[in-house]
Structure 1
Amino acid sequence: MPGRLQDRIAIITGSSSGIGRQTAFLFVKEGAKVVCADLQPGTWREDAAQNGESDGPTHERITKEGGSAIFVKTDVSKPEDVEALVATAVKEYGRLDIMINNAGFALESRNPQPIWDMPLDVLDKMIPVNINGVYYGIKYASKQMITQEPLQPSGDRGWILNAASVYGLVGSAHASVYCTTKGAVANLTRAAALDCAPYRVHVNAVNPGYVHSHMTDPLFAAPEVLKDIEPLHPFRGLGRPEDIAKAYLFLASDDAQWMSGVNMNVDGGFLAR
């Protein structure tokens, strides 16, 4: 039985670990061909063995198991890298159906502090990846998608999905830069959706709550912090990368055919409070 993404071509940035890695595995399981993009092919996690990420780079594991995947070294903060990434996907597979702008990070998870104490270099380091990288991903993916033949029977030309956050919709103390970047992604998603709608290109975002990953685990290392954060998610506590991967799958499939400009909360009830 064909998968929900059968023969679709997907780029996933930040694919070497965490949410991006699990999204790549799930998409391939559902029939997609995946272009993995990151600064390095292997995981960033120092505790890879304990977290199921010690079995090689994402694209190598996929091909070893019979799927189709390639790796493209990409710094999403550089527009020329992102443009080349899209061009490589099209050269390899003939088109681009799905763009997952998943790469991002939160320096404040290691050193949270109020805005008056926040070093300005935190802003300078995070904006190029968390905002500019998403912008470049939308720009170059949509430029390709609007020119290609629509898929049948849906008539759609592409699906662009962005990693936002619950902190793109509400604030958090001691995380002013992260909130700034994710708020920008939330509204960029809406604006880009309006540009792309006449061409039948979907643009949506996912707003995760706190998810176990290499980015957040330094924050959870302190038991008192974990004790405070977990109850903020009334449904089952903290999330897993697989939870977000499943949301990406839904939004990239025909099941979300009339959805665009949406920031979808995947947060264990965090924003219901």
Structure 2
Amino acid sequence: MAEKWAVVTGAGSGIGAVVAGAAVKRGYRVAAWDLNREGLDALAADIGDGCVTRACDVTDEAAVEAAVADLPTSPAVLVNCAGLVRFGPLLDLSLADWELALRVNLTGTFLVARTVARRMAAAGQGSVVNIASINGVAAAPHAGSYTASKAGVIRLSEQQAMEWAPLGIRVNTVAPGLIDAGMSDAIYADPEVRRVREGAVPLKRLGTSDDIAEAVLFLASEQASYITGQCVTVDGGLTKATLANLPRPASIDSVGTDGPTGS
């Protein structure tokens, strides 16, 4: 049976590394790309021969094209995990930080997906999963350009799905919620912040990289062969819980025609 290849960007740490490891366990050969050479070495040592690593800047068109050209076959799956954050109030945000997040998170996703999709199109099949964020679904205070960049990833994915479906390529997005991994390490180092955030999630826990990997690999699989153009929010119900986090008197929680109506 021919090898199935999966390309995972941002695989040197956090969610990307966990997705890469989970893909190997499901029988994929993984091309793991990142600028974090130390992280890639640790990943390779952890998952062994199933992984081929490459230092690749997802914002460098020539580097991306060279990395894709070196793949032995058209990849079955692409997972765009590479990303960064530059948080801060918009009034104080520098143009350099604004442009950096957009370039890595949005333009990098475009460049890699476009280049890989050209090979997938020649093969007549493939699945792309782009990683967004609940910050791309709903704005958050002081999220800088991260919110705009991840909202762009969601709309870009829809555009890709529409244009590439006739080529046999499915494109979906996973939007992680409050995930205790990678770029969020500094946030959850504060026990009080962790407690408050856990309490705001209807499932009463933070998400894990494994939660995200499971969603990603489902969307990449044949079990999701009729799913394209969708954004799956993996957040324990957080983005649907606005009213759940607002108080109201228990005395009105009754069913009948005599009580008050509305929320």
C-alpha distance after superposition, 1:226-265 (max 9, x if no partner): 3332223221421111110111110110010001111111
CA distance in 1, matches of 2:92, 2:198: 26
RMSD: 1.8
User: After the TM superposition, which residues 118-197 of structure 1 pair with which residues of structure 2 at under 5 Å, given as runs?
Assistant: 118-148=93-123, 150=124, 157-197=125-165
Task: Kindly indicate whether the alpha-carbon contact (under 8 Å) linking 1:96 and 1:145 is maintained by their aligned counterparts in 2.
Answer: yes
Task: Kindly indicate whether the alpha-carbon contact (under 8 Å) linking 1:202 and 1:259 is maintained by their aligned counterparts in 2.
Answer: yes
Question: Which of 12, 17, 25 is the aligned partner of 1:16?
Answer: 12
Q: Secondary structure at the match of 1:242?
A: helix
Question: Which of 42, 52, 72 is the aligned partner of 1:57?
Answer: 42
Question: Which of 30, 39, 52 is the aligned partner of 1:43?
Answer: 39
Larger Rg: 2
Task: Kindly indicate whether the alpha-carbon contact (under 8 Å) linking 1:86 and 1:96 is maintained by their aligned counterparts in 2.
Answer: no
TM-score by length of 2: 0.86
Task: Kindly indicate whether the alpha-carbon contact (under 8 Å) linking 1:41 and 1:58 is maintained by their aligned counterparts in 2.
Answer: no
Task: Kindly indicate whether the alpha-carbon contact (under 8 Å) linking 2:12 and 2:38 is maintained by their aligned counterparts in 1.
Answer: yes
State yes or no: 1:69 paired with 2:51: yes
CA distance in 1, matches of 2:232, 2:80: 15
Provide the identity percentage: 32
Amino acid at match of 2:43: T
CA distance in 1, matches of 2:63, 2:178: 29
Amino acid at match of 2:216: Y
State yes or no: 1:78 paired with 2:60: yes
Q: Secondary structure at the match of 1:42?
A: helix
Task: Kindly indicate whether the alpha-carbon contact (under 8 Å) linking 1:9 and 1:95 is maintained by their aligned counterparts in 2.
Answer: yes
State yes or no: 1:106 paired with 2:85: yes
Aligned-residue offset at 1:24? 1.0
In structure 2, the residue matched to 1:50 is none
TM-score by length of 1: 0.83
Instruction: State which drifts further: 30-39 or 218-227.
Output: 218-227
Question: Which of 204, 208, 222 is the aligned partner of 1:254?
Answer: 222
Q: Secondary structure at the match of 1:176?
A: coil
CA distance in 1, matches of 2:220, 2:38: 25
In structure 2, the residue matched to 1:48 is none
Task: Kindly indicate whether the alpha-carbon contact (under 8 Å) linking 1:99 and 1:161 is maintained by their aligned counterparts in 2.
Answer: yes
C-alpha distance after superposition, 1:129-185 (max 9, x if no partner): 10110000111011111011x4xxxxxx00011010111111101113110000000
Task: Kindly indicate whether the alpha-carbon contact (under 8 Å) linking 2:173 and 2:230 is maintained by their aligned counterparts in 1.
Answer: yes
Aligned-residue offset at 1:18? 1.2
In structure 1, the residue matched to 2:237 is 269
Task: Kindly indicate whether the alpha-carbon contact (under 8 Å) linking 1:97 and 1:159 is maintained by their aligned counterparts in 2.
Answer: yes
Amino acid at match of 2:130: N
* Bigger helix share: 2
Task: Kindly indicate whether the alpha-carbon contact (under 8 Å) linking 2:128 and 2:169 is maintained by their aligned counterparts in 1.
Answer: yes
CA distance in 1, matches of 2:15, 2:200: 20
CA distance in 1, matches of 2:174, 2:102: 19
Amino acid at match of 2:56: T
Task: Kindly indicate whether the alpha-carbon contact (under 8 Å) linking 2:86 and 2:98 is maintained by their aligned counterparts in 1.
Answer: no
Higher relative contact order (CA 8 A, sep 6+): 1
Q: Secondary structure at the match of 2:53?
A: strand
In structure 2, the residue matched to 1:51 is none
Task: Kindly indicate whether the alpha-carbon contact (under 8 Å) linking 1:206 and 1:247 is maintained by their aligned counterparts in 2.
Answer: yes
CA distance in 1, matches of 2:78, 2:126: 8
Amino acid at match of 1:29: K
The count of corresponding residues between Structure 1 and Structure 2 is 241
CA distance in 2, matches of 1:88, 1:164: 27
CA distance in 1, matches of 2:200, 2:131: 20
C-alpha distance after superposition, 1:19-41 (max 9, x if no partner): 11111111111110000100033
